[in-house]
């Protein structure tokens, strides 16, 4: 809300539409690739007390998320331009649709990491890392949009740092 005047000054309505479509595609694909695995992981995590079984469960969920998230990327690479021209009028697959697919793929490990933090009752730690990554993402967006005048591309690229930071944290 605080940055709304800044973005409305530097972004055109067309830029806002592009950012909205990229966000929508990433969210829809995120829900499609989830298919309830986070809920199942949460339930199964508490059904076992063995630490090795819990590690296997979280590892399997990570493998699932990365494997399933690759499917839209591969489909996008093969049929993305055709699908996007069929679904969206005046919105090409490259570069924005492709970036939405990559963003969906990058966000997957962070989703399972956040779930794991919640399962281990490490809410504060997850909140701090989410907050830091959010602030960095917003700062990068503002710099790309305002300083480098990248428009919609700057706003879309600004979505990546927070996802990348959480992925790096989840891999540690």
pLDDT of the residue at 37: 85
pLDDT at 110: 84
Long-range interactions of 94-99: CB distance < 8 A, separation 24+: 95/153, 96/18, 96/21, 96/22, 96/152, 96/156, 97/22, 97/25, 99/22, 99/156, 99/157
Residue 171 pLDDT > 80, yes or no?
no
62 pLDDT exceeds 90? no
pLDDT tens digits, 22-61: 999 999 998 888 878 888 898 999 999 999 999 999 889 8
User: Which tens digit of pLDDT belongs to each residue from 122-168?
Assistant: 999 999 999 999 999 999 999 999 999 999 999 999 999 999 998 88
- The crossing angle, in degrees rounded to 10, of helices 98-119 and 51-87 is 160
pLDDT digits (tens, 9 = 90+) for 71-126: 999 999 999 999 999 999 889 999 999 999 999 999 888 888 888 898 899 999 99
Residue 142's pLDDT is what? 97
pLDDT at 167: 85
């Amino acid at each position: 809300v605080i940055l709304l005047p800044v973005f409305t000054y530097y972004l055109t309505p067309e830029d806002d539409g592009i950012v909205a479509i990229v966000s929508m595609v990433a969210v829809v694909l995120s829900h499609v690739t989830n298919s309830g695995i986070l809920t199942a992981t949460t339930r199964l995590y508490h059904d076992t007390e063995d630490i090795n079984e819990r590690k296997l469960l979280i590892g399997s969920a990570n493998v699932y998320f990365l494997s399933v998230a690759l499917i839209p990327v591969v489909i996008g690479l093969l049929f993305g331009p055709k699908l996007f021209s069929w679904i969206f009028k005046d919105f090409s697959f490259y570069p924005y649709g492709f970036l939405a697919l990559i963003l969906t793929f990058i966000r997957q490990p962070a989703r399972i990491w956040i779930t794991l933090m919640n399962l281990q009752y490490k809410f504060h730690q997850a909140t701090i890392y989410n907050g830091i990554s959010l602030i960095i993402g917003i700062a990068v967006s503002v710099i790309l949009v305002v300083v480098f005048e990248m428009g919609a591309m700057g706003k879309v690229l600004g979505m990546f740092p927070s996802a990348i930071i959480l992925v790096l944290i989840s891999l540690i």
